[in-house]
Chains A and B, each alone.
Chain A
């Protein structure tokens, strides 16, 4: 079942790539495939029960390269299922948004469906090589999405920078994986086996080097300071749905790698490096917020708030490694981190889609070019306002639930986590400033004659925001899903 979810989009993508169907058919096939996949994921969530003893559900294992003990091994647990669901939702939203796409829609649909398979596969992978396969292919797919459908003048250059930078990260990751493989006895790439064995527990130096390779690889993908420089140009030049997928799903691969691989496989090294991770998280949160405050381009601003939001996740997983502090607080931090990944995916996805609408109408992302959009485009202004408030963490939206847990948990582990708190304040300030510059006041600049949001644009944005609202109002289903896995993870990382 899980494999069907992973490979259904790829199968449709292959069909679309080979069969020259009309553009209209291609667009609807894309939307239909993502909807079917989303329905399957919803079924999966409904049928999911937290496995006893921290195991995996819907597990499947097929021989692949037995000589290095690498297999096609997939399964879900409370850490991966929320992200699988997020992936299906975001890609479905992008497919609906893409129903208006005029530029080579058949190729675009095939590309995004293939990209969806890599994202779903990565979050389900329970084998390091399988994880790496999907990790690398997602980079190739995103490169094509930015380079082929980017809106900016420098799309080619930004795409190349994105590819090179994240490919460097993937190579560091590969080195780390090989290190783990060689350290395990018997050698294996299987993640659950590696977690049970916890290799390099007795070799702090080697463990430190392997963890450093993993951290660099994952930090580039996340991205955290100082490896974030590829992100703003990539977002600036990507198309609306390219940006939405990049921010909402692809960035999660980095932080998911922390909780899936780095923390449980190298608990000793993670504990030793916990303060470094916390520091990187705090700096990312503050730096991302401050730089976002200085932006005049709304898309770059959203990109930098991503760095800020992912900084909270990094802070929380770092705090989870402080073995001396209370277990409950650290479990709360991990739950908050996973919730934040989902929350950030929903709200930032909505924001990037709205930024795409703006660019589509006025050809500009500059905040100064717009003013008084509340009058000329009331629906757009309403949606943007709601998305901005959801993103800055106002109660009743998912961001509040996530960030509250991140800070409550992290501060329970170490009081230093409070240093990152001003990040929330700065984020609130910058979103309010954006709202003030673009939405209120008399219409001016390019806002005059603004054609308001169409249905195919509104439906995906509203869906994402409603989901964020639902999590904010009734977080329990999601938290009940994550909490057992967070408990298992904290137990593993405290070994």
Chain B
């Protein structure tokens, strides 16, 4: 066991950045709050560089015992490093697309601090292999989330914040209950020891404990049955907050679920149960998105359905590590997470650049007036569908392969049908953007447009440079 605090340098950057941003914001006059933004961006860049420098070499196909840990609770392996990179890059994009929206607002610096803390919580969720630290990570990523949702002070935001808070409180209690039960039957809260501890435990107790922890993590990920807050929060919150809450917490929570499922004993058919959750999540998210007319709400439901696809490799994470075949569930999960994060943020960047466009019909004439935004929307939405050669296509390819290889061929068929269904609502939005119409002459948002273009380049780069991405995630 390593005790070197410097191994946690990226996390320290996030924490220190949050504190420094808050302090800087407190002492700066209202018109110079942009300095706080610079502080936050500098902290993120520091965290990114620290992660890149310590990126673990070699291939780690799946969660294995030899991974290095710090303080006995924090795993330094490829999934942790990829999560750090994705969270840092996502936060940079969120801050970039939110410049116009957040700049000059009363709570600008607080928002940046909350974003950094929420990102830190997501990294802790993904990196820990101890359930007690997992509970801390849950709170660390949840509390900033409630505040961010309610930050915009509209009636919709207030309702969404309350809904998120109530559901989050319930999920937190479930998580703590689950941790307690698992500790009781396994005799430890550390995941490596739990593998042996749970093997002889009564199946009912393991089921109750696991479902409790899963409930907490599914709330963070926005998966069925704890997804109800996602569409409301996406619609009600500000665009930057919505972009954050549909991306960053999911990354941390899904890696955490994968770590948990990996150590579950075979006394219950966990791959099947998680597979059913995945099928329910993607199906429900898609069916609900079909009827939406508000672009933000549509994206909110679309992120729910994306969690369904992301749960597919999670379901087979144990199965694959037993046989050692296939492209690997964990690399597939990480590939999809990378692709999903950049794609989803690209779509939200388009929303941020047209803050007054709420309904799908408001996007008429976008192609003529703002061709760059229309291109970003086309690339982003087609990527969410899974059209090659975009980022999510590579994710879907690896995820489908991993799930089939892990024995869940039926789930791959369900996912393929869902992909077809999802085409309906993404296309409805795209068709509006290409219809002739007038875009109100709102002031252009150069930063959000820049974020959209950067995201578009990222989506295509991940898709075309898939070899580099899969090598990075250790496939």
Contact = CB atoms under 8 A, between A and B. Distances in A.
A452 interface: no
A67 to B, nearest CB: 4
Nearest to B398: A68
Interface residues of B, number: 30
A432 interface: no
Contacts of B394: 65
Interface stretch (A163-171, A242-250, A353-361): A163-171
B468 to A, nearest CB: 9
B419 A67 contact: no
B108 to A, nearest CB: 36
A67 B401 contact: no
A137 to B, nearest CB: 7
Contact of A67 (B327, B413, B423): B327
A175 B470 contact: no
Interface in B350-384: 382
B387 A136 contact: yes
Interface in A119-154: 129, 132-133, 136-137, 140, 147-148
A129 B398 CA distance: 12
Given A137-B387, A148-B434, A65 B420 contact: no
Nearest to B420: A168
Nearest to A181: B401
Q: Is the interface of A mostly helix, strand, loop or mixed?
A: helix
B467 A63 contact: yes
B327 A179 contact: no
Nearest to A62: B467
A164 B423 contact: yes
A68 B423 contact: no
B349 to A, nearest CB: 20
Nearest to B401: A178
A366 to B, nearest CB: 29
Given A147-B431, A160-B427, A171-B416, A68 B404 contact: no
Contacts of B401: 68, 178, 181-182
A64 B467 CA distance: 5
Interface residues of A, number: 29
Contacts of A167: 420, 423
A73 B420 CA distance: 28
A324 interface: no
B374 to A, nearest CB: 11
Contact of B382 (A64, A140, A156, A160): A140
Nearest to A147: B431
A67 B387 contact: no
B312 interface: no
B115 interface: no
A22 interface: no
A172 interface: yes
Interface string B402-443: 001100000011001101100110010001001000000000
A164 B466 CA distance: 26
Residue in A65, A148, A163, A174 with the greatest tally of chain B CB atoms within 10 Å: A65
A187 interface: yes
A392 to B, nearest CB: 37
Contacts of B339: none
A4 B417 CA distance: 36
Nearest to A140: B387
A175 B413 contact: yes
B397 interface: yes
A212 to B, nearest CB: 12
B420 A171 contact: yes
Contacts of A171: 416-417, 419-420
Interface string A181-201: 110000100000000000000
A179 B427 CA distance: 29
A137 B385 CA distance: 12
A66 B467 CA distance: 6
Given A136-B388, A182-B404, A68 B419 contact: no
A174 B419 CA distance: 12
A389 to B, nearest CB: 41
B262 to A, nearest CB: 20
B249 interface: no
B394 to A, nearest CB: 7
Contacts of B420: 164, 167-168, 171
B331 interface: yes
A178 B470 contact: no
B60 to A, nearest CB: 13
B376 to A, nearest CB: 14
Interface string B325-359: 01100010000000000000000000000000000
B400 interface: yes
Given A67-B327, A140-B382, A175 B412 contact: yes
21 contacts: A65-B394, A65-B466, A65-B467, A66-B471, A67-B327, A67-B467, A67-B471, A68-B398, A68-B401, A68-B475, A136-B388, A137-B387, A140-B382, A140-B387, A160-B427, A163-B427, A171-B419, A171-B420, A172-B416, A181-B401, A182-B326
Interface of A: 63-68, 129, 132-133, 136-137, 140, 147-148, 156, 160, 163-164, 167-168, 171-172, 174-175, 178-179, 181-182, 187
Interface of B: 326-327, 331, 382, 387-389, 394, 397-398, 400-401, 404-405, 412-413, 416-417, 419-420, 423-424, 427, 431, 434, 466-467, 470-471, 475
